[in-house]
Amino acid sequence: MRSLFFKILVWFWLSNVLLVSLSVGYFMATNDARQRQNIQAMRRRGRSSLGAALDLTAQNAAFLYETEGKKSLAEFIAQTQEVTGLTLWLFRIRGAEVSELSGQSVPNTTRKAALKVLESEDIERIPEGDFLYTARPAISFNGEAYIIVSKGRDFFGGMPGQGPRPQDSLLQNIWSQLPTSFPQALIFLGGAGVVCYALAFYFASPVKNLRQATNLLAEGDLSVRVGPKMGRRRDELADLGRDFDRMAERLQILMVSQRRLLGDISHELRSPLARMNVALELAEQTANDDTQIYLQRIYRESGRLNELIGQLLALARLESGDTKDRETPVNLSELIEEVAHDADFEAKSNKCGVVITHNDDAQTIGNIELLRSAIENVVRNAIRYTGEATQVEIEQRQKNGEALIRVRDHGPGVPEEALSELFRPFYRVAPARDRQSGGVGLGLAIAERAIKAHGGSISASNASGGGLLVEFRLPLNQ
């Protein structure tokens, strides 16, 4: 998860859910514990009251048995069962045995409860389904020992300690509440998600705007600003946006000034250079043979200077964006054939050649002179560095609505760390700036700006087997 927006959203949302869940769980757990304590107290009071009633019933039953016999005892037990809803048995202790006195049938659970009292001499309880068997020792008014057993509904929660315990874990308490609180939980999770989404958007949105503006600035759009997108924010992110705008404005002023200076100087050099060429032509008419050699040298250098000024003007025009006024349909296949033919004638002086390996029929919309200059500059650069008796290969194919143009030489290639710098103005791989190692470093820069002005891209890489491979991508006119 690399997005700052989703990181903020997820972590805030999970934090809220965890905090509220723990709070609700703690409340439910403590509330359940209090309720359990109250229930246990009610059970103890209920059992205590029932125990006192059974003690009194046992004493009355024993008294009737001792004074009036089994018949009176049976009638008394029947009346008591009718009134209380309890089934009662009265046992008399005879050594290690017990015998029921009322004449009723005695279930195994009843006898078992009586025998357990005989062993423990204390109250015993045996749950069985929804019923509870309670056996208690009792002493009659004459001091005889009896055991009374009652069977009734388990109104007090069964055996002591049975049922939910106060020490149950917090997660168990929360889990037990889920079936009844699921709709409320969904409402809470949805509400928390909306709040966290708004909070994450508030923090991540200016960062996203800054990132987009930075990418546009890196691509050369110096007019980009983020201040209007910040709204009325007054936090650190808004300050960062204003700092970015000041930086972009300063860069724009510097770059515009540099481009204007470059264009003005190049333009102003054209006039004295033209006058110097006229003077050279006049001087050649009256010069002797010895002087002609020096005049020819001056003429060649002025031609190179004129070419450099032309490149500088072209670069300034491309960087200013002044290229849309002369756009026409361009047949790329024909343009490549023309450039290859002219370049092959020039390459013969370097003992190499230029060949087209593939050339699809393709058309685009653009400035034909700029496109010609871009392709020529790359091809001439390849001619300059390819080895003797080799050929510069040009290939043009249609691919995914684009024209893919490849120009490859068979020279020494370029160090990997220099590939990204090749299209920077005045950059040269070789440290020396002599004529033997190439031009002044404007040809590839002009090519890159011309291709980008047409919505395309250009890249350079070292070809397998040696040499430099330059690729153009231009959108086609469908």
**Which residue numbers are catalytic?**
267
Q: What is the DSSP letter of 147?
A: E
What is d(CA 430, CA 413) in angstroms, rounded to the nearest whole number?
12
Backbone torsions φ then ψ of 138, nearest 5 degrees: -145, 150
Among all chains, which residue has been given the structure tokens 């086609």?
476
Cβ density class 386-397: b for 16+ within 10 Å, e for less: beeebbbbbbbe
62 SS3 class? helix
Fill in the amino acid letter for 398.
Answer: Q
In one letter, which amino acid is 97? E
Which residue from 33, 298, 62 is spatially nearest to 165, judged by alpha carbons? Answer: 33
Q: Are 113 and 91 in contact (CB under 8 A)?
A: no
**Largest interatomic CA distance in the chain:** 171
Spatial distance between the Cα atoms of 22 and 456, rounded to a whole number of angstroms: 58
Instruction: Give the whole-angstrom CA distance, residue 472 versus residue 462.
Output: 15
Instruction: Residue 117: name the closest of 90, 140, 152 by CA.
Output: 90
